[in-house]
A = this chain, B = another copy of it.
């Protein structure tokens, strides 16, 4: 079966996120004063074959651990697993 898995990777809390800071300040200067904080990370859409949704999730987790997320500075979340 084919699955589409969405992964969010964000800078770990407490670690400096210069990009998030720059975007927050830009939004403020554009008048979006209500924005408290922005963090910018990566969104990955992965299409992969697996026997089940659980298997797809496990495989993507392994990919994140091994390659896709930086264990030193980032946290990742598997946001969704959909059959396609």
Contacts and interface: CB of A to CB of B under 8 A. Distances in A.
A72 to B, nearest CB: 18
Contacts of A81: none
| Interface bracket on A | 20 to 34
A47 B42 CA distance: 17
A45 B38 contact: yes
Interface string A42-66: 1111111110000000010011001
A38 to B, nearest CB: 5
Contact of A27 (B49, B50, B67): B67
A78 interface: no
A35 B23 contact: no
Contacts of A66: 30
